[in-house]
Structure 1
């Protein structure tokens, strides 16, 4: 059996078996996803789109497309008039999971020019030129560090051969998320998407976790090997305090269920504010990570104290969303692309013409 067949079998055996249930569940788009996470995702997409020369069309290769979430997000930018001039899309999605691909095809059957292809991101990314090589949902974390280097080298080499100016969005799991602080000394370990909204259980699978230094190094090595110039790169953290595994507690049982508590606040419920205070950071974290969390905790706890005082006597329906808004501002303003969020995303602008 080939490597592609092995990975395909793994995907079909249970990793994404509950994925179709999850992506069609109304519970998936909770208040945190809509108010905390999607604004960051849109910022990432806008950063990528800002690097593409305006033209009559936009070609997108969505790597590890799953149920077509990337296409949904791109069109949401147009629908909300954030980017009303978003041009006609030529969209191609690539994924190993046939169930998710079928769902994507059904969901987006009448959308622009969209096709969904079955294939392995390590070997089957087409050589055709694209304006944006998109990824969301951390597909690259399925690869080992060596596999990611080889995959990016092939992708960057394609950009170089096609002599295009293209943007590559690399979405991976953040190594120093609070959700798995007990495993910060490891970069690859068995992970389970137990947050899926489904009666089916997701299997464990080995995943790779990345910080800013290691991801930048991988990108630089790939660009050097491909002879392709990097003209810009920007990193984004998403979900520093509200990752989905703060609710499951699967990998850090001692962590407060921040996502659950904040969802309750956003819905106007009463929440014990003491449970929302920032946690202590393990001593084995790198200095730069500890410094980040120190700054973050100071501002997070300051907002808790200040808003608690200001909202004294107000009904929960008013006080809860007010506090959530203040905490959300801390998360969005301080996230620094270090790999301290649930996911770490790099937006890389390549100039294959040089």
Structure 2
């Protein structure tokens, strides 16, 4: 694996500023922050659309539904580190009842039922956001430096949801993040929701970061060279900059200390690890050279009329490492992942009894559900007469069942590329 020098905490606030802003300016200029256009590759690949966005919607759904009922008016949202406004689409496309297919389709937050304010440091992002949502009378963008807390946003009326997404808060040092959260606590109404989105320190993508103890060791190197996959020269030129990486315990302590400063309680509602095995840097192997390109392979599962080599989806057990907290969680997921992939390979070739395939009582419920689901999918695929049943039916369903494994076996400890926490302000 590649080892990168550890920047000091101060560098997170000062020396990295121009590199980070330049990185995002280039991404905007390249069109990567235009209005969301789903695709199977690139920034908005299948894993982003069907795994990562859905994880965030899943964790938010019940709490946002409750908040909408309590508000009885358009829900006010402040998106902190908003980029070009991708959070607006993420929030307004949360299905109200995804487990009830017989109900008419509806969303928790309709576009007209939200007052959205986006704040970002990068002027190119703010300009692009205004372009993307020109004509929306309920969407506004402001340039703001979150290193200064809420700043001028303190003058705004309180919000119902203080939102962040895709690791935007990892750009802040611990001290700056604590000050920002305390600002939110002083500004918010009782019952307001706060969504914190960080880069997880215990991701399989960077095992060299797992052992961090001091604050300096928790601020580590990061790059967005994954935006240039397939172009080695562009990947090598991509900027590197420091981020603060977080664990579930870190976030719990942050909520407690910021609450004391603000004179309120930040009640921990939920924590979730996202992209435990399919983070962006699984494919780049930038920080862990032994990783297979699993994200690319999962994207392939979602591709119509394209068969994926399922053997390449199998993971070596030793990738779980040897960490007392992290390794048991990763080992359980890797073992379940491999069992589901192996069962799918064998079941495609012929009948296999699910209960006899493995030690059934020892399987976690998420794996039992996935194995039964795959067995039924393959049995039903025998009736498909047109097209490629494996590529168009079996493989996409395998991808969704692998996703359900990740969602079901995560423990919210900081074990994914992304780490989400939902807090509620209590006075």
- Output the TM-score relative to the length of structure 2: 0.74
Which residue of 223, 235, 238 maps to 1:192?
223
C-alpha distance in 2 between matches for 1:302 and 1:65: 39
How far residue 266 of structure 1 moved from its aligned partner, in angstroms, is: 1.8
The secondary structure found in structure 2 opposite 1:341 is coil
Partners of 1:182 and 1:271 in 2: how far apart?
31
Partners of 1:181 and 1:282 within 8 A in 2: no
Unpaired stretches in structure 1, ≥5 consecutive residues: none
Shift of 1:173: 0.2
The equivalent of 1:297 in structure 2 is 334
Residue equivalent to 1:331 = 406
Confirm or deny that 1:178 pairs with 2:204: yes
Shift of residue 284 of structure 1? 4.7
Q: Is the 8 A contact 1:188 1:209 kept in 2?
A: yes
Shift in alpha-carbon separation, 1:113–1:149, aligned structure 2, 3 A: same
Q: Which has the higher strand share?
A: 1
Residues 204 and 320 of structure 2 are in contact (CA less than 8 Å); yes or no, is this contact kept in structure 1?
no
Cα distance change of structure 1 residues 282 and 298 upon mapping to structure 2, 3 Å threshold: closer
Query: Compared with structure 1, are the counterparts of its residues 243 and 283 closer, same or farther at alpha carbon in structure 2 (3 Å cutoff)?
Result: closer
**Are the counterparts in 1 of residues 197 and 418 from structure 2 also a CA contact under 8 Å?**
yes
Instruction: Give 1:152's aligned residue.
Output: 181
Equivalent residues of 2:28, 2:128 under 8 A apart: no
Name the SS for the 1:165 alignment partner.
coil
User: Distance in 2 between the 1:263 and 1:342 partners?
Assistant: 17
1:85 is displaced (CA, Å) by 6.0
Distance 1:113 1:50, change over 3 A: same
Output the TM-score relative to the length of structure 1: 0.88
Q: Give runs of aligned pairs for residues 162-311 of structure 1, distance below 5 A.
A: 163-186=189-212, 187-196=218-227, 202-267=238-303, 268-279=305-316, 280-281=318-319, 283-285=321-323, 287-311=324-348
Paired residues of 1:235 and 1:346 also in contact (CA < 8 A): yes
Cα distance in structure 1, aligned partners of 2:185 and 2:274:
25
Q: What is the distance in 2 between the residues matched to 1:4 and 1:328? A: 36
Q: Aligned partners of 2:46 and 2:23: how far apart in 1?
A: 28
Match of 2:378 in 1: none
Superposition deviation, residue 245 in structure 1 = 1.2
- Structure 2: give runs of 5+ residues left out of the alignment: 1-11, 97-104, 213-217, 351-388
Give the equivalent residue in structure 1 for 2:357: none
Number of corresponding residues: 346
Matches within 5 A, 1:11-160: 11-20=20-29, 21-24=31-34, 26=39, 27-52=42-67, 53-77=70-94, 81-83=106-108, 88-125=113-150, 126-127=153-154, 128=156, 129-159=158-188
